[in-house]
Chains A and B, each alone.
Chain A
Amino acid sequence: MNDTTGHDALVRLRGVHKTFGEGRAEVRALRGVDLDVNPGEMLMLMGPSGCGKTTLISIISGVLSQSQGNVEAFGYQWEKLSEDAKAIARAQNIGYVFQQFHLVPQLPAIENVAVPLLIRGVPREQALRRAAASLTDVGLGDRLDDPPRQLSGGMQQRVSVARALVGQPRLLVCDEPTANLDADNGHAVMELLRKASRRTDDQGRACAVIVVTHDARVESFADRIEYMEDGRFVDAPVGAHQA
């Protein structure tokens, strides 16, 4: 895991292709994507369904391998890492926010938030203390012991954001974080994500945020918007707002 690139970009993709299936069933999800994601940046990926956004963030996160091209993240080349090394790199560097929240329904909010720290091997007591602080940061300091079913959709997504931020990740990957929320809650969640991109960790490193979204209401939060179509980046469609 010392395959440092020496570049400033936190994530750097060059000529990335991804193909699923073979022969007549072959689907080309990405067709030569180049992308730099810089620390402190809030990047929004937009485009129609099936354009390759989810495939792209999966490859950036190291949970999916590219068919061709080069992917560097946090100084590592994903394809050169073993599965365990990738897992460790993900645990140390990436936080996730999902459209469906993906909170464990049986666990209270504080334990849900503590999960990434427990995966890293942080002692339980310390993990719960940091989880409580993270929940307080997103305005849920009074709902620590509530299971997800007792929280509204907006609150659940804030718990999800607290979980993503609790480990002070260098990259936040957010998949349609506002899709299941009303305008007010969507706005509140995007505020939290933008705040996260402006924050630095204990070592002074800024966090980058990638948001995949269809939600035009949240475009204004982005530092940069990239539009995708048919597996590649395209110019902004007519009428789209460029931040």
Chain B
Amino acid sequence: MLFADKLKYIVLVCGLAFAVLLITQQCAIFLGILIRATGPLQNIGQADIWVAGEHTYYIDMVRPMSDRDLYRVRATPGVQWAEPFFFFNTIVQLPDGKFTVVQVIGVDRQTMIGRPPTMLSGRLEDLRIPDAVLLDKVGRRRLKDVQVGDTLRLNDRRATVVGFCNAKKGLLSKALMYTTYENALRFVPLGRQRMTYILVKVKEDQSVREVADRISALDGIHGWTADEMRKRNIDFILKDTSVGLNFAIMVGLGMFVGLVVSMSTFNQFTNDNLQHYAVIKAMGARSRTLIGMVVVQAMTVGLIGYGLGVGLAALFTRTVRNQANELVAFIPWELLVVALVPMLLCVSLGAFVALRRVLRLDPASVFAS
């Protein structure tokens, strides 16, 4: 009956599709933010342990350490190697005089530990040239499409672009600028406490957990395994920012819209057709037949709305990715299940309200002319 009532059918499908789109898209962006929060960690696969000042909660919010801390870590039993890693935001001046924020990443000159995962143009070895920097592809766009050989200025120091790379950015990153650790210290002078992170590789016969604990036992610094560091970053976003709450509110609004639309439309539709349900009941339809009628109609529009909603959300995510946009969104298959649950809840509640009226209907009302 509902499918033939085109207006209500379309309103119901559109309402549910919008709700599912809102839920899926917001969750996808939220997941994208969580993944992006750990972007810099994903770029570095060589290190087993990240060492930073105590009480470091997020990769962009760090209290630098001194060279002495590096020596202490290197002297810790079980450590195969420990290298300084520089990670700090600063201002870069463009050739046209404008400026923007870049994230300067300083890697060890010899081992290149912390290097970008993929080179797009130029050679990694060229980073050893004095004042040389590599830019990631999004950074290149933000820096007005600079070319290899162009010169930039950072804190009154000259930096020469020697190539471009691909690397995952952090949540607060605008553009990534790779250089050697020594260059980084020149570009961003921090004083005596100048080492943001120490990357540690554990000897093969040693437990990463135990070595991390040994490092954490040292005064003023802490060692986190790569997994712990990722979790710490995600926890910071979830617990110490209102990002999670804001997204939860949006998802809640999506559910509310879906619920209101499905319940009110179903209720209206049921009211309009009560007499027909009464006739069908009088003709001998059993309760299970009536339940089946309502549920099939509800589930069909629900699944069509769900399909449209996740389809639009996927289209949105694809568009965002294609445009290499700042906005990140990620739809794993688990999210499709997560979006299905509130949709089923909305539709089930709508159907439940409708069913209560239908099942309580007095078939004798068919004779009331």
Partner-B contacts on A (CB < 8 A)? 54, 57-58, 61, 63-64, 83-84, 87-92, 94, 96, 98-100, 102, 104, 106-107, 115-116, 119-120, 175-176, 179
Contact = CB atoms under 8 A, between A and B. Distances in A.
B369 A96 contact: no
A196 to B, nearest CB: 16
A90 B1 contact: no
Nearest to B288: A84
Contacts of A115: 280, 283
Interface string B333-369: 0000000000000000000000000000011101111
B4 interface: yes
A98 B279 contact: yes
Contacts of B246: none
Interface in B277-309: 279-287, 289
B286 A54 contact: no
Contact of A107 (B4, B285, B286, B369): B4
A157 B286 CA distance: 25
Given A115-B283, A116-B283, A102 B289 contact: no
B280 A61 contact: no
B78 to A, nearest CB: 74
B72 to A, nearest CB: 80
A120 B364 contact: no
B287 A84 contact: yes
Given A88-B284, A90-B283, A119-B284, A63 B289 contact: no
Given A104-B276, A106-B1, A119 B283 contact: yes
Contact of A63 (B276, B363, B369): B363
A67 B287 CA distance: 24
Given A57-B367, A106-B5, A176-B369, A116 B284 contact: yes
A236 B283 CA distance: 32
Contacts of A98: 279, 366-367, 369
Interface string B256-291: 000000000000000000011001111111110100
A152 to B, nearest CB: 19
Contacts, number: 74
13 contacts: A58-B364, A63-B282, A83-B286, A87-B287, A88-B286, A96-B282, A102-B276, A106-B5, A115-B280, A116-B283, A119-B284, A120-B284, A175-B369
A32 to B, nearest CB: 20
Given A100-B275, A104-B1, A175-B367, 18 more contacts: A54-B368, A63-B363, A63-B366, A87-B281, A87-B285, A87-B286, A89-B284, A90-B283, A96-B283, A98-B366, A102-B279, A102-B366, A106-B5, A107-B1, A116-B284, A119-B283, A119-B285, A120-B284
Given A87-B285, A116-B283, A106 B4 contact: yes
Contacts of A99: 369
B280 A91 contact: no
A176 B284 CA distance: 21
A104 B5 CA distance: 11
Given A58-B364, A104-B1, A119-B289, A91 B284 contact: yes
B284 A63 contact: no
Given A64-B364, A106-B4, A90 B280 contact: no
Interface in B110-167: none
Nearest to B272: A105
A232 B12 CA distance: 50
B367 A91 contact: no
A98 B285 CA distance: 17
A79 B283 CA distance: 18
Contact of A119 (B5, B280, B287, B366): B280
A92 B283 CA distance: 9
Nearest to A104: B276
Contacts of A84: 286-287
Nearest to A85: B286
A58 B281 CA distance: 13
A63 B366 CA distance: 10
Contacts of B281: 63, 87
A176 B369 CA distance: 9
A17 B363 CA distance: 19
